[in-house]
Amino acid sequence: MSEVLALTGNEAVAWGVRLSRVEVVAAYPITPQTVIVEKLSEWVEGGELDAEYIRVESEHSAMSAVIGASAAGARAFTATSSHGLFYMYEMVAFAAGARVPVVMGVVNRFVGPPWNIWADWMDALATRDLGWIQIWVSNNQEALDSIIQAYRIAEDKHVLLPVMVMLEGFVLSHTSAPVRVPDQKDVDEFLPSYNPPHYVLNPEISKTFGFGNIVWPWDTVHLRWDMHKAMLSAKGVIRRVVREYEERFGVNHGGLIKEYKVDDAEVVIVSMASIAETAEIVVDELRKEGLKVGALKIRFFRPFPTKEVIKALKDKYRVVVVERDISLGHDGVLAMELRSVLHRYDLQIPVYSISLGLGGDEILPRQIKKVVKEVM
């Protein structure tokens, strides 16, 4: 039987890891992620999670450890934030290139200086081109469910790419909310044990399998293109996994995207993470004023949901992108991605970009409402 618990976002992630029966956890603390690995350590010590818990000396080592564990055939997890993510940057790229299906919780935090431990998206967005699938969650329930879904997606033989699950620091990581924790038996049926579709690193067998070897340029081209094809293949896998998860657990946070009152909207607010839920509140308030506004949440930033976005926005009048980041010297990252997609399909829809809440500053419905009204 499932049960409802009051969980912080960090605790929800930890529950997702526990229910996924992760076999190796590599841990190094950094605020505001630390509670995730602390909770997992308690369960490992108490025998509630049968896993190897590796206390490493740095974030770089944490990613190295889960790469090794996954290459040996284990289901592996780690978590980090901000400067920790940057410290492991080399191995983040290695994990994708080595095609190990690890999952990592990333609690988004501003990258200093100035020193700031609150929410900002630029830590994870700076890794967008390395080959990781990226899921951006809007609430604590989605954090738990996304961890479980992430393993099903990552370990699919047509994907075999690592997955980041993003939740904003303190906005979600330290805020409690009711979360339905599914029954372990149901999760086991949805997410069987990891069964690698290739040889694993094992000194006891004669057949060996290499990860991250040096290759010639003409081989590199093919390997990189294979990663790109796997990322595109992941879209179909994601749709299937989301559908099956809803059928089993009755929960749907959206597939690659989530639409809210978009069908008849003239202006659509596009966002990610917790801003997406604030945008839905704004839509409801503006609808009461007679304004045809909708909201579109980008749940998977990689692979980018190109076709879904085009279908949702093709007949719209204006798009307002609200994001908690800025690519200094240019614009918001999400807005740039969106414009490139619209341009590719020759859709002449103005995209207005606004960066709010940088460094964890509060994002209020009235701020978004003001922008939308100005655009309209």
What residue ranges do the domains of the chain occupy?
Answer: 3-249, 257-375
pLDDT band at 166 (very low <50, low <70, confident <90, very high): very high
Does residue 205 surpass a pLDDT of 80?
no
For position 104, what pLDDT does the model report? Answer: 98
> CA 4 to CA 21: how far, in whole Å?
20
Does residue 206 surpass a pLDDT of 70?
no
Identify the CA nearest to 300 among candidates 359, 360, 358, 239: 239
Helix intervals (H) in 1-98: 9-19, 34-46, 59-71, 83-87, 89-97
Lowest-confidence range among 120-129, 192-201, 349-358?
192-201
Does residue 2 surpass a pLDDT of 90?
no
> CA 268 to CA 93: how far, in whole Å?
34
For position 208, what pLDDT does the model report? Answer: 66
Average pLDDT over residues 50-63: 98
Identify the CA nearest to 167 among candidates 275, 273, 83, 268: 273
- For 203, phi then psi, to 5°, come to -70, -10
Does residue 129 surpass a pLDDT of 70?
yes
CA angle 298, 306, 247 (to 5 degrees): 60
Average pLDDT over residues 227-233: 98
For position 212, what pLDDT does the model report? Answer: 79
Q: Are the C-beta atoms of 7 and 15 separated by less than 8 Å?
A: yes
For position 339, what pLDDT does the model report? Answer: 97
Identify the CA nearest to 268 among candidates 295, 238, 292, 300: 295
For position 169, what pLDDT does the model report? Answer: 98
Lowest-confidence range among 97-111, 203-217, 285-299, 347-361?
203-217
* Topology at the third CATH level for domain 257-375: Rossmann fold (3.40.50)
The pairing of strands 176-181 and 3-8 is antiparallel
For position 201, what pLDDT does the model report? Answer: 81
Average pLDDT over residues 317-326: 97
Q: What percent of the chain has pLDDT over 70?
A: 99
- Omega before 32 cis (within 30°)? yes
pLDDT band at 154 (very low <50, low <70, confident <90, very high): very high
Does residue 248 surpass a pLDDT of 80?
yes
Q: Are the C-beta atoms of 139 and 274 separated by less than 8 Å?
A: yes
For position 210, what pLDDT does the model report? Answer: 74
For position 258, what pLDDT does the model report? Answer: 98
Average pLDDT over residues 289-303: 98
* pLDDT tens figures, 184-203: 999 999 999 999 988 888 77
Distances (CA, A) of 119 to 30, 39, 58, 113, 144: 14, 21, 22, 14, 19
> CA 110 to CA 324: how far, in whole Å?
10
CATH of domain 3-249: 3.40.50.970
* pLDDT tens figures, 7-46: 999 999 999 999 999 999 999 999 999 999 999 999 999 9
pLDDT band at 176 (very low <50, low <70, confident <90, very high): very high
Q: 257-375: same fold as 3-249?
A: yes
The pairing of strands 293-298 and 257-260 is antiparallel
Average pLDDT over residues 121-142: 98
Pseudo-torsion of CA 172, 177, 178, 184, nearest 10°?
40
Q: Which amino acid, 325?
A: D
- Omega before 305 cis (within 30°)? no
